[in-house]
Amino acid sequence: MRAMLFHNPEAGEADHSRKSLVTLLGKAGLSATYCSTRGSDFSEMLQEKADLFIAAGGDGTVGKVLRGMPDRRIPVAILPLGTANNIARSLGLAGSPKDIIGGFAKARTQRFDLGLACGPWGQRVFVEAVGLGPLTEAMSRIDAVGIERSDGIRIGRDTFRKVLSEARPIRFNLSVDGRSLTEDMLLVEILNIPSAGPVLAFAPEGNFGDGLLDIVCVAPGRRADMLAWLGVSQPTAPPPVSLLQGRRINLNWEGIPLRVDDHCPTISKQGVKVTVEVASEPATVLVPRAATRVRRPRRYYRTGVGENKRS
**In this model, does residue 150 exceed pLDDT 90?**
no
Angle between helix 152-166 and helix 134-145 axes, rounded to 10 deg: 130
In angstroms, the CA 245 to CA 226 distance is 20
Mark whether 168 and 239 lie in a shared domain: yes
Is the residue at 288 inside a domain? no
**In this model, does residue 12 exceed pLDDT 90?**
no
Q: Which pLDDT score is estimated for 179?
A: 94
Average pLDDT for the chain: 90
Give tens-digit pLDDT for 204-217.
999 999 999 999 99
Residue % of the chain over a pLDDT of 70: 90
Give tens-digit pLDDT for 21-36.
999 999 999 999 999 9
Q: Which pLDDT score is estimated for 79?
A: 96
Give tens-digit pLDDT for 215-250.
999 999 999 999 999 998 888 899 999 999 999 999
Mark whether 57 and 7 lie in a shared domain: yes
3-state secondary structure 77-122: EEEECCCCCHHHHHCCCCCCHHHHHHCHHHCEEEEECCEEEEECCE
**pTM listed for this prediction:** 0.90
Q: Which pLDDT score is estimated for 211?
A: 96
Greater pLDDT, 166 or 303: 166
Mark whether 55 and 119 lie in a shared domain: no
Q: Which pLDDT score is estimated for 295?
A: 45
Mark whether 151 and 253 lie in a shared domain: yes
Domain count, the chain: 2
Q: Which pLDDT score is estimated for 149?
A: 58
Domain holding 158: CATH number?
2.60.200.40
In angstroms, the CA 55 to CA 77 distance is 6
Mark whether 274 and 136 lie in a shared domain: yes
Report the pLDDT averaged over residues 171-193.
96
Long-range CB pairs of 154-161 (<8 Å, 24+ gap) are 154/198, 155/198, 156/84, 156/197, 156/198, 157/198, 157/200, 157/230, 160/134, 160/135, 160/197, 160/198, 160/200, 160/230, 161/227, 161/230, 161/231
Range of the domain at 263: 115-280
Mark whether 135 and 32 lie in a shared domain: no
Report the pLDDT averaged over residues 47-67.
96
Q: Which pLDDT score is estimated for 293?
A: 42
Q: Which pLDDT score is estimated for 236?
A: 84
Is the residue at 290 inside a domain? no
**In this model, does residue 251 exceed pLDDT 50?**
yes
Q: Which pLDDT score is estimated for 291?
A: 57
Q: Which pLDDT score is estimated for 289?
A: 78
Q: Which pLDDT score is estimated for 306?
A: 38
Mark whether 180 and 100 lie in a shared domain: no
Final residue before a domain boundary, out of 106, 123, 146: 106
**In this model, does residue 299 exceed pLDDT 70?**
no
Query: What pLDDT band is residue 292 in, cutting at 50, 70 and 90?
Result: very low
Mark whether 197 and 144 lie in a shared domain: yes
- Are 79 and 55 in contact, with CB atoms under 8 Å apart? yes
Closest Cα partner for 112 from 56, 53, 48, 154?
53
